């Protein structure tokens, strides 16, 4: 199961983005092995709950924890190039 499938309803808002100009590139990244590994390391339910509450501190902490990893930094660089 990839990250898009694991996040279920929480990702539905991104469907519009994925249908945009760079949608296929983003879908490819979302299904990549490095993103799968990053997704497996995250507590998706906690992140969804933080997003629903508007808890920006928790969301920021989750992003920072991802960016501290080598895979997270590589992914961020790929996203910058899109």
Domain boundaries, the chain: 3-81
3 state DSSP class of 13: helix
Q: SS3 for 9-32, per residue?
A: HHHHHHHHHHCCCCHHHHHHHHCC
pLDDT of the residue at 35 = 87
Distances (CA, A) of 40 to 1, 36, 67: 10, 6, 15
Mean pLDDT of the chain: 81
More confident site: 16 or 9 = 16
- For the entire predicted model, the pTM comes to 0.62
């Amino acid at each position: 199961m990839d990250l898009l499938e694991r996040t279920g309803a929480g990702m539905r808002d991104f469907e519009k983005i994925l249908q945009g100009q760079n949608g296929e590139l983003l879908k490819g990244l979302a299904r990549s092995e490095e993103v799968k590994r990053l997704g497996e390391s995250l507590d998706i339910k906690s992140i969804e709950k933080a997003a629903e509450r508007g808890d920006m501190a928790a969301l920021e902490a989750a992003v920072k924890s991802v960016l501290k990893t080598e895979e997270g930094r590589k992914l961020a660089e790929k996203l910058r190039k899109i």
